[in-house]
Amino acid sequence: MARTRRVGGKSKKVTVSTDAYGHTAGWAATDLEAALAVPPDSEAAAFFDVDNTMMQGASIYWFARGLAARKYLTTGDLARFAWQQARFRLLAREHAGDMSRAKATALAFVEGWRVDDMERLSEEIFDELMAERIWAGTRALAQLHLDAGQRVWLVSAAPVELGRVIAERLGLTGAVGTVAEVQDGAYTGRLVGDLMHGPAKADAILQLAKVEGLDLSRCTAYSDSSNDIPMLSIVGSAVAVNPDSALRAEARERGWEVRDFRTGRKAAKIALPTTAATVALASAVAAGVAMRRRRSRR
């Protein structure tokens, strides 16, 4: 369905479509009329955080749920993970030591896995558990950039293979994520570089801009978390999507746009895992896989 509206004195046709998963690429007409009017600009791009920005909850959590369904994890592993997530959210802070441990164990659970198996599992679990949790409003914002001829990347602490699957399923340009070391087609369990978190996201975008010839002053970044303030600060336009309290306050102070696609009820319920506690999931997954391996040897 297409509608014509006036933007800056000119008529502009806006298309509201439905994706392969049944989500509308647009949202309520009043929100659509207020959407960003993005001018065509080949040197511009948009960068979207994933967890609680593009998707309800954390992608790595839903990936873990999919692994549990396939007996890679137990329900006990998931329960411990959920408890630690709640604790991190209540504390609303991160410690350097936690991130240090996170880097050491973030992708330890994939040690020995084949890369093609990881990609297959990511595709299966996205289709089963993640597709229906994509925020229609955020997806529509991404589509506005695409329709304006701009490139759109996901930027997430999740494994880059998972990020690429999400980007591909949503028709986006690509993804930047945490990279696991690979030897002979299998993961070693070690990271290449840092977790794609906090300042590391900003660094990755700076490098991507150089490679792709982007003018960051013409780019836009979207996130829900105050952890992503470094990423939001290096672009010309920053948008707080479903923001936590710290980011909402920062956005108010800096004059950043705020978009909240949650209802009050949903906002209260969405206490699902966030990037802040990647170490908790890594520990749970590693423990689950270790238990599975021990059982298989008996």
Summarised one tens digit per residue, pLDDT across range 194-212 is 888 889 999 999 999 999 9
Whether pLDDT at 254 is above 70: yes
CA count, 13 A, side-chain hemisphere, 61: 26
* Residue that wins the pLDDT comparison between 143 and 113: 143
* Residue that wins the pLDDT comparison between 231 and 180: 231
pLDDT confidence bin for 244, thresholds 50/70/90: very high
Highest mean pLDDT among 15-19, 62-66, 226-230, 271-275: 226-230
Per annotation, catalytic residue among 19, 41, 49, 117: 49
Task: Over range 40-64, report the average pLDDT.
Answer: 90
pLDDT confidence bin for 190, thresholds 50/70/90: confident
Summarised one tens digit per residue, pLDDT across range 62-107 is 888 898 888 877 777 666 656 655 554 444 344 444 554 555 555 6
Task: Over range 42-67, report the average pLDDT.
Answer: 91
Residues in the chain: 298
Per annotation, catalytic residue among 19, 41, 51, 77: 51
Q: What is the pLDDT of residue 107?
A: 62
Q: Exposed/middle/buried for 270, CB within 10 Å: 0-12, 13-18, 19+?
A: middle
Instruction: Specify whether 215 is catalytic.
Output: no
Residue 148 has a CB neighbour count (10 Å cut-off) of 16
Domain 37-297 has CATH 3.40.50.1000: yes
pLDDT-wise least confident of 94-103, 162-171, 220-229: 94-103
The DSSP annotation for the chain comes to -EEEEEETTEEEEEE--B-TTS-BSS--HHHHHTS------TT-EEEE--BTTTBSS-HHHHHHHHHHHTTSS-HHHHHHHHHHHHHHHHHT---HHHHHHHHHHTTGGGTT-BHHHHHHHHHHHIIIIIGGGB-HHHHHHHHHHHHTT-EEEEEEEEEHHHHHHHHHHHT-SEEEEE-EEEETTEEEEEESSS-S-THHHHHHHHHHHHHHT--GGG-EEEES-GGGHHHHHTSSEEEEES--HHHHHHHHHHT-EEE----HHHHHH-----GGGHHHHHHHHHHHHHHHHHHHH-
* Residue that wins the pLDDT comparison between 104 and 135: 135
Round the CA-based radius of gyration of the chain to a whole number and report it: 19
Task: Over range 111-124, report the average pLDDT.
Answer: 89
Task: Over range 124-151, report the average pLDDT.
Answer: 95
CA distances from 173 to 100, 119, 146, 163, 168 (A): 31, 17, 9, 11, 8
CA distances from 33 to 13, 40, 270 (A): 11, 18, 27
Instruction: Specify whether 49 is catalytic.
Output: yes
